[in-house]
Amino acid sequence: MTQLVIHHRDYARPMPPRVSAVTQPFWRGLEAGRFCTTRCQDCGKLSFPPKEFCPHCWSDAVTWEDLPPGGRIYSHTTVHIVPRRFRIEAPYTLALIDLDAGLRLMLPLLKPLPDDGPGAIGHRARLVVLQYSDGPLFGAELEAAP
Ligand SMILES: [Zn+2]
């Protein structure tokens, strides 16, 4: 199990997630610094968000597993104009990250990147926990400066 780096924020999540019975183990794991999701025991594929059945083959034989935090940035964009509730976080960069585990996730990057040039495309990144005053979310940070 890999412990994720936890970054603290002193304000509440702008849009808290809806936690269901199915996703509760994910959020509990995230609070403890783990990023876990479900894997199908019939076809072997991962799902995210976690599901009680496999969206690839419809099997209900799924189990939870912790994912290693590493990945590579596929693309990114920086958002400057935001809905009112996200104003405290603007500007922020959203990145599509191909995790080494095989999932592609869209995640906020901890430090905004410049809009011009290739930026951090192709660079290594890792999942992190964003611990807000009312609970956790997740994001990513570069492993080294682009
Ligand atoms: Zn499956």
Encode the chain (146 residues) as per-residue pLDDT tens digits.
Answer: 689 999 999 999 999 999 999 999 999 999 999 999 999 999 999 999 999 999 999 999 999 999 999 999 999 999 999 999 999 999 999 999 999 999 999 999 998 676 666 778 899 999 999 999 999 999 999 987 66
Distance CA 119, CA 6 (A): 24
Q: In angstroms, what is the span from residue 21 Cα to ligand 1's centroid?
A: 21
Q: In angstroms, what is the span from residue 78 Cα to ligand 1's centroid?
A: 35
Distance CA 102, CA 107 (A): 15
Q: In angstroms, what is the span from residue 100 Cα to ligand 1's centroid?
A: 19
pLDDT value of position 117: 65
Q: In angstroms, what is the span from residue 38 Cα to ligand 1's centroid?
A: 10
Q: In angstroms, what is the span from residue 42 Cα to ligand 1's centroid?
A: 5
Q: Is residue 128 within 8 Å of residue 4, measured between CB atoms?
A: yes
Reported residue count of the chain is 146
**22's tokens:** 């199915």
